[in-house]
Amino acid sequence: MTPEAAATGDVRGRASIAAVATPPSARRGPWRRPLAWLLRHPTLAFGALLLIAMAAIAIAAPWLATHDPDDIDPLARLQPPTAEHRFGTDALGRDVYSRTLLGARVSLAVGVAVAAISATIGIVLGLVAGFVRPLEGVLMRTMDGLMAIPGILLAIAAMAVVRASLATVIVAITIPEVPRVVRLVRSLALTLREQLYVEAARAVGTRLPAILWRHVLPNMMAPLIVQATFVAASAVLIEAALSFLGVGVPGQTPSWGNMMAEGRNFVAVAFHIILYPGLFLATTVLAINLLGDGLRDALDPRLARQL
Amino acid sequence: MRSTRASHASSEAGMSDAALLEVDGLRVDFPGLDGAARAVDGVSWRLEAGRTLGLVGESGCGKSVTALAILRLLAAPPARIDGAIRFRGVDLLALDERAMRRIRGDRISMIFQEPMTSLNPVLTIGRQIGETVALHQKVGSRETLERAVEMLRLVRIAEPQQHVGEYPHQLSGGMRQRVMIAMALACHPDVLVADEPTTALDVTIQAQILALLRELKDRLGMAMLLITHDLGVVAQTCDRVVVMYAGRKVEEASTLDLFDQPLHPYTRALMASMPSLNTQAKRLVEIAGLVPDPRAMPAGCSFASRCALADERCRVETPQLQALAGDHLVACFAAQEGRG
């Protein structure tokens, strides 16, 4: 046993040298240099830039607008884009440019709110389904039932029973989005539940809520963030569709869906009424999807290498 | 073997008769569609304060299930656990979940086989070590961090102040296992359950970790249950050894007696299958066959199908544990009858 003891001492010395020699670059996290990190993921950078621009437009809309968006001008109906009306006017002579800018507020508010609310509810229900065995069956079958109904149909049905407002639209869109998040969270929870570090946490006496908060939730953040971006993109589209069908935000509120609904009768003579809100809508959805794709690649380097 | 003797002598002075941890007739079943699988079948042993007990056997013989049962980490149901696990005379199986949580990590701690996956990748190691402290002792966050640094120093991690803020992926396997040990020992438990603590590490690191465990055990005066399939590890570390086969205890002896005179054919086969520096053999010796399916245990001795000494009686009757030569227990007809 003596030669082995000698070997032990020797190796311990070497191990401490190796520990000291760890290069400083290994200690730098991805957030230490956010700009460099962003530049390594161009999809993410482009999506984020586009979305930030859209958010800036939404926030600054009242100052960027050239006209009162509700100002009716019967003498200037269906005008093509001019210096006075950059995106032209609609059937009531309202300024399409000003209305489009303000419409960004509705779309982004709906996107962000639906993503946040459905993620929160989905995390709670998904963790319950993953960690509380007796409730799993009831909860997941309910979610399966919800998923069997097309999302837009469910949202239309929900809107049919309540008064139209921004808040009710958000709720109506959230309901069909929740099951998707629940399923994702549950499947992640089932994987993480079997991780040794969760068992190790239990072995030192951690309670279930603390395990969920400290060990399970942080480890599912990456896929959850990605899923949330896709929920946001889908919510923006559904909101536009609801408004287009006349069951979304109230008609007087400028939203891209409302504007396109009003403009569809005049497509042949005044295409610009549909064109600009449509372009903004497409850009917003594209920005959110690029952000989501970029985040997925950035947060899961293994997946990025496969593609 | 020198260190084993030394720890014998030092712990004998403070040893009392009452066992710190006593497993009595432990039985664990996993009911399944095609019959219950009996993972542990009536195993009993005692662990005295300051001692190290080795639990030896090949994969699937119930070692880890025993460890998980002690900390009540097996989900029950589905598992059915019978028997008694007494810690300082209190039956752990009868405690409610709250009382059990207070024991886990504080009085009885566990380290796992896989240091690569036993640490949470998104928490710094300081926070993970601190978690144990914060759970069981009322201390502020700064003090918790200081304790984490102190624990890292105790497990011989160089520059603990620096490493305490690092994430698991920045550490090597050996360092991670040291962090796991620091986590488990942060509250100075009375019993450390080490489930194959060195299996996933390479040989040189194994020796370091074992030396560290031995040293910390003596320094903190705790008892250790060491689960392993490596008899070399047992020889270096344990005072007493329990050999398990197919969920049963087949032999128990002090480490010296066991290596001096292994009685059960399974123990002998395990020893024969250890590669030795002294032999010129080209092929490693193996034990032919596999552990029988726990859902369909054969009648008689469960080792009979792989045993060279098995006769008719072994295939029909189950041998019971019998003390031979003082406190050397063995469950084997051949050994008890003195043949083979």
Looking at residue B281, its pLDDT comes to 63
**Of the ranges A230-239, B274-283, B290-299, which one carries the lowest mean pLDDT score?**
B274-283
Cα dist. A196→A192, A215, B333 in Å? 9, 11, 40
Is residue B2's pLDDT more than 50? Answer: no
Mean pLDDT along residues B192-215? 84
Span B238-257, pLDDT tens digits? 889 999 888 888 888 888 88
Number of H helices, E strands in chain B: 13, 12
Q: Do A203 and B172 touch (CB under 8 A)?
A: no
Domains of chain A: 107-307 (1.10.3720.10)
Q: Which CATH superfamily is domain B2-117+188-258 in?
A: P-loop containing nucleotide triphosphate hydrolases (3.40.50.300)
Interface of A with B (CB under 8 A): 1, 4-5, 7-8, 11-12, 15-16, 18-20, 22, 26-27, 195-197, 199-207, 210, 214-215, 218-219, 221
What average pLDDT does the segment B213-225 reach?
A: 88
SS3 letters for B99-113?
HHHHHECCCEEEECC
Q: Which residue of chain A comes nearest to B128, CA vs CA?
A: A201
- Note the pLDDT of residue B18: 67
Residues of A in contact with B67 (CB under 8 A): none
Whole-number pLDDT of residue A36: 76
Q: Name the closest residue on chain B to residue A134, using Cα atoms.
A: B77
At A92-130, the pLDDT tens digits run 889 999 999 999 999 999 999 999 999 999 999 999 999
Question: Got the DSSP string for A68-132?
Answer: -TT---GGGTTPPP-SSSTT-B-TT--BHHHHHHHHHHHHHHHHHHHHHHHHHHHHHHHHHHHH-
Query: Quick check: A28 pLDDT over 70?
Result: no
To the nearest whole percent, how much of chain B has pLDDT over 70? 91
Contact B120 A201 (CB under 8 A): yes
pLDDT above 90 as % of chain B: 2
- Of B62 and A230, the one with more pLDDT: A230
Q: β-pairing, B52-56 with B80-87?
A: unpaired
Rounded to 5 degrees, what angle do the CA atoms B252, B261, B249 make? 20
> Which candidate in B157, B204, B236 is best for mutational testing of the A interface (most A CBs within 10 A)?
B204
Residues A284, A261: Cα–Cα separation, whole Å: 19
The pLDDT confidence band at residue B82, using thresholds 50, 70 and 90, is confident
pLDDT digits (tens, 9 = 90+) for A245-299: 988 888 888 899 999 999 888 988 889 999 999 999 999 999 999 999 988 888 8
Q: What per-residue confidence (pLDDT) applies to A301? A: 62
What residues pair up with B22 in beta bridges, in sequence order?
A: B46, B86
Residue B339's pLDDT band (cuts 50, 70, 90): low
- Given this model, what pLDDT does residue A23 score? 45
**Inter-chain contact B123–A215, Cβ cutoff 8 Å?**
yes
Contact A12 B117 (CB under 8 A): no
In the predicted model, what is the mean pLDDT of residues B77-87? 84
Helix ranges, A194-220 (H): 196-203, 208-211
* Per-residue pLDDT tens digits for B97-148: 888 888 888 889 888 887 778 888 888 888 888 888 888 887 778 888 888 8
pLDDT at A198 over 50: yes
- Reported for A20-25, long-range contacts at CB under 8 A and 24+ positions apart, including other chains, are A20/B158, A20/B159, A22/B170
Nearest CA distance, A216 vs chain B (angstrom): 9
Q: Where are the domains of chain B?
A: 2-117+188-258, 118-187, 262-337
Residue B280, pLDDT score: 66
- What confidence score (pLDDT) does residue A7 get? 43
Q: How far is CA B26 from each of CA A176, B23, B42, B44, rounded to the nearest angstrom?
A: 50, 6, 5, 6
Cis link prior to B77 (omega < 30° from 0)? yes
pLDDT at A3 over 50: no
pLDDT top residue among B221 and B36:
B221
Residue B162: the pLDDT is: 85
Report whether B205 contacts A11 (CB < 8 A): yes
Task: Name every chain B residue with its beta carbon within 8 A of the beta carbon of A18.
Answer: 172
Q: Amino acid letter at A65?
A: A
Closest CA to B321 of B266, B254, B241, B249: B249
CB within 8 Å: B132 and A207: no
Structure tokens at B280: 């010129």
Question: Is B186's pLDDT higher than 50?
Answer: yes
Q: Strand ranges (DSSP E) for chain B?
A: 21-30, 37-47, 52-56, 80-87, 90-91, 108-111, 191-195, 223-228, 240-245, 248-254, 322-324, 328-330
Beta carbons of B207 and A201 less than 8 Å apart: no
Among candidate residues A128, A134, A116, the one with its CA nearest the CA of residue A209: A128
ipTM: 0.71
Q: Spell out which residues of chain B touch residue A195, defining contact as CB-CB under 8 Å.
A: 117
Tell me the C-alpha distance between B26 and A276, whole Å. 74
User: Any residues with CB less than 8 A from the CB of A288 and at least 6 apart, and which?
Assistant: A47, A51, A111, A229, A230, A232, A233, A236
pLDDT at B17: 52
Average pLDDT along chain A: 85
| Mean of pLDDT values over B276-293 | 71
Contact B109 A199 (CB under 8 A): no
Question: Least CB-CB distance to B123: which of A27, A207, A214?
Answer: A214
Which residues on chain B are in Cβ contact (under 8 Å) with A22? 170
Asked whether the beta carbons of residue B120 and residue A11 sit closer than 8 angstroms, the reply is: no
CB B334 within 8 A of CB B266: no
Between chains, do A196 and B170 touch, taking CB under 8 Å as contact?
A: no
Query: Model confidence at A182, in pLDDT bands (50, 70, 90)?
Result: very high
Q: Answer yes or no: do B135 and A18 touch at CB < 8 A.
A: no
For residue B41, the model assigns a pLDDT of 85
Identify from B102, B120, B153 which residue to disrupt to test chain A contact, counting A C-beta atoms within 10 A and taking the largest count: B120
Report the residue of B68, B131, B162, B205 to disrupt the A interface, i.e. the one with the largest count of A CBs within 10 Å. B131
Alpha-carbon A193 to chain mean position: 26
* Residues A231 and A114: beta-carbon distance below 8 Å: yes
Q: Are B120 and B127 in contact (CB under 8 A)?
A: no
Query: Assign residue B175 a region: left if phi > 0, alpha if psi is -120 to 50, beta otherwise?
Result: alpha
CA nearest to B105 within chain A = A204
Distance (Å, rounded) from C-alpha A112 to C-alpha A109?
5
Nearest partner of B222 among B144, B110, B135, judged by Cα: B110
Angstrom distance (rounded) from CA B251 to CA B330? 4
Task: Find the mean pLDDT for residues A6-30.
Answer: 44
Measured between beta carbons, which residues in chain A are less than 8 angstroms from residue B123?
214-215, 218
